[in-house]
Amino acid sequence: MKALLRFFGLADSPQEPGAYTPPHGAETVIGQGMTVKGEIKGEGTVLMLGSFEGDVALEGALHVGPEAHVEANITATTVVVAGVVRGNLSANTRVEILASGSLTGSVRSGSFTAADGAVVKGELWVEPAAPTTATP
């Protein structure tokens, strides 16, 4: 029934494109209202909902929530920005700036997307990862 109501525009629609959905099962969460200065280094997914200043080096994903403010040099597999980020980003696979996101700094990544409404100021280098060749 809900699908039928959505079809006719009479029910809440699914999440609009560019809207933020926090990752499920993030190993590390910096909660809203928290302020952290320093270095984050390790593996897994990190979800930032508060403020962070320093350096981030991850073998995993970094998600910056809509209310978060981050001033950092960031190296990660994937970076998703729904809040405010100032600094240099380097991501092996992709950087995604959502509609509520703002990025000031340089980006190096294999893939880059910015939703309508996103703010991006800086330099951008997008180079797909070189294909790996199998050795016989």
Question: pLDDT tens, 52-66?
Answer: 999 999 999 999 999
Q: Does 92 map to a domain? A: yes
Alpha-carbon distance of 11 to 104, in angstroms, equals: 37
Whether the model clears a pTM of 0.95, i.e. scores above it, the answer is no
Interval 8-51: pLDDT, tens: 555 554 455 556 777 888 889 999 999 999 999 999 999 999 99
Does residue 129 form part of some domain? no
For residue 68, being part of any structural domain is answered with yes
Which residue type is seen at 54? Answer: G
Q: What's the domain range around 112?
A: 26-117
**Which long-range CB contacts under 8 A does 106-110 form with residues at least 24 apart?**
109/79
Output the six-digit token pair for 37.
Answer: 């200065």
In this structure, of 3-12, 71-80, 127-136, the range with the lowest mean pLDDT score is 3-12
Question: Would you call 5 helix, strand, or coil by DSSP?
Answer: helix
Q: Is residue 76 part of a domain?
A: yes
Specify if 131 maps to a domain. Answer: no
Confirm whether 52 is domain-assigned: yes
Domain membership of residue 15 (yes or no) is no
Position 72 in a domain: yes
What amino acid is encoded at 69 in this protein? H
The count of domains in the chain is: 1
